[in-house]
Amino acid sequence: MNATANDGSAVVSVQHLTVRTKQKKLIDDLSLDFGPSSLTAVVGPSGCGKTTFVRSLNRMVELTPGLKVEGAILYLGQNIYDPRVNPVMVRRRIGMVFQRPTVFPTSIFENAAFGLRLVGEEIREIERQVEEGLRRSGLWDEVKDDLDRPALSLSGGQQQRLCIARALATQPRVLLLDEPTSALDPAATQRVEATMQRLKEDYVLVLVTHNVSQAARVSDRIAVLHTGHLIEVGPTAEVLERPRNPLTAEFITGRFS
């Protein structure tokens, strides 16, 4: 099914995306637009392709050998899969946070500054962006007195928020979150969810989650995937209360906690 905005305001526009292996299609002709200042939750049963989908948005899906990507994904009108485009460039504006906190074994500051150092940003600007990123992810007050502390000394929830800050430091427009709270305890989960709520005002967030109630809490819009197809998409409340596709209903009632 198609879910494209026709007014051209989409930040990211997925157009007929198909991701296939030799044997089967992991994503089948998926089209979806993402507008500014939004949080779209991508849900579905295991194996439905939600992780594959999200990883195609920043060309991380290419890291898995044997996958072919067809179709186009437009970022501000430019196809990121254009053969002239190097994936490295895409990832500066489309950032990603992973399932488990993946902090590097360096200091908090160095973690956050990682992306900025790569592009050769000057030190003053780096410090500014690092602070900005840490503020936006809600970690600043907790670490501001000692940014040189090893990042691994932080708690799990703090590490994950550091990962968010790290991704934000390069000033992306889009932030992809692949089940960011599944490895965290409830308190940490709550902090990260609060962060996401704040962030959605300024960024385009795409959240993969298996937790439907989390989707209900934070997202504006839910996209439901099933075996690689987009079976339903719409405002959160609508999809959850009055799903149009029977598969959606099945999925929700099975998982709604």
State residue 135 phi and psi, 5-degree precision.
Answer: -65, -45
Calpha distance 186→192 (Å, rounded): 10
* 8 touching other proteins, by CB under 8 A: no
* 22 touching other proteins, by CB under 8 A: no
Identity at 37, one-letter amino acid code: S
**Residue 247, both tokens:** 């598969």
* 24 touching other proteins, by CB under 8 A: no
Calpha distance 203→174 (Å, rounded): 6
Identity at 137, one-letter amino acid code: S
Nearer to other proteins, 74 or 249 (CB): 74
* 4 touching other proteins, by CB under 8 A: no
Calpha distance 100→193 (Å, rounded): 15
Q: What is the DSSP string of 24-91?
A: -EEEEEEEEEE-SSEEEEEE-STTSSHHHHHHHHTTGGGGSTT-EEEEEEEETTEETT-TT--HHHHH
State the nearest-atom distance from the C-beta of 74 to other proteins, in Å: 8
Q: Candidates 25, 31, 45, 100: give the one binding other proteins (CB under 8 A).
A: 100
State residue 74 phi and psi, 5-degree precision.
Answer: -95, 130
State the nearest-atom distance from the C-beta of 123 to other proteins, in Å: 13
Stretch that binds other proteins, among 36-44, 104-112, 218-226, 247-255 (CB under 8 A): 104-112
Nearer to other proteins, 114 or 140 (CB): 114
Residue bearing tokens 């968010």: 164
Nearer to other proteins, 40 or 58 (CB): 58
State the nearest-atom distance from the C-beta of 90 to other proteins, in Å: 7
* 132 touching other proteins, by CB under 8 A: no
Rounded-to-10 torsion of CA 90, 92, 93, 98: 90
Stretch that binds other proteins, among 27-35, 97-105, 144-152, 153-161 (CB under 8 A): 97-105
Q: Candidates 106, 197, 227, 245: give the one binding other proteins (CB under 8 A).
A: 106
* 241 touching other proteins, by CB under 8 A: no
Using only C-alpha atoms, what is the Rg of the chain? Answer: 18
Q: Candidates 67, 85, 216, 247: give the one binding other proteins (CB under 8 A).
A: 85
8 A C-beta contact, residue 100 and residue 177: no
Please report which helix (H) or strand (E) contains residue 196, including its range: helix 186-199
Q: Candidates 3, 28, 45, 92: give the one binding other proteins (CB under 8 A).
A: 92
* 127 touching other proteins, by CB under 8 A: no
* 210 touching other proteins, by CB under 8 A: no
Sites of contact with other proteins (CB under 8 A): 58, 60, 63, 65, 75-78, 80, 82, 84-86, 88-93, 95-96, 98-100, 102, 104-106, 114-115, 118-121, 125, 163, 166-167, 170
